[in-house]
Copies of this chain bind each other. A is one copy, B any other.
């Protein structure tokens, strides 16, 4: 058939709600006003009005729209909000690839995956195309897709790339003037780090969001859409992996906090060389953690 009428249905039901508040025989607002209120196109409003007219709830006659009776519960149209958002799809897909350790070179079945993820097939198609740039999937010569897989090679190259970007960011930070917002932000996150370090035995789980914030502050001074875009993917993948590798989590996180503090202190002292070195060493640790987490996962 064609596109779903979900938009029409929800607009129709919302319209019923508005009608319920009007007295019988009242005149309805204009089509444009209704479309603005319901945040849909006039086409949808007109279709809904026609349906209401057909159901005998209102009477349509040119620009005269008169309320005939109050709507009942059974007038409502059923609607099922099946489909998930693009971000949710991204999360689900990565979850699927990383958690179930889908082997490299797996051919992807668009129709089946679309069903599994509750999205229309062509949205999945589009999503795969956008992933293609990150080298996670590949178009097969004659139709279809192939998962290139989250291999060790991939992880190494991703980490290396991350290092390049992040060291660059660290270098940029020390060049910022004293009134740049990055300085108070760093001071604030430094306090958060110290606070978490105090209660690390109990709250070591709280490190993951803090880690995300820290790296995002560092990268925020680099005002570059390409960096930002990549940072999104990088943090997503690192975040996902950390979630599952529970070995030595307390110890690991404590060490990472201390590494972060070394970087922060060097940055606040405007000591570029030391900050860079500290960042490099932190990123190297991070890479090792990612790789060992993958090895552990493979053995499991």
Contact = CB atoms under 8 A, between A and B. Distances in A.
Nearest to A223: B157
A129 interface: yes
A129 B131 CA distance: 9
A161 B228 CA distance: 11
State the copy count for this chain: 2
Contact of A164 (B122, B157, B168): B168
Given A122-B122, A125-B126, A164-B165, A135 B229 contact: yes
A127 B129 CA distance: 7
A123 B212 CA distance: 36
Contacts of A133: 130, 133-134, 229
Interface string A217-234: 000000111110110000
Q: Which of A122, A126, A133, A135 has the most CB atoms of chain B within a 10 A radius of its CB? A: A133
A245 B162 CA distance: 35
A34 to B, nearest CB: 18
Task: In the A-B complex, list the 10 residue pairs whose CB atoms are closest, starting with the nearest.
Answer: A129-B129, A126-B129, A133-B133, A161-B226, A135-B225, A157-B224, A129-B130, A164-B168, A130-B132, A157-B225
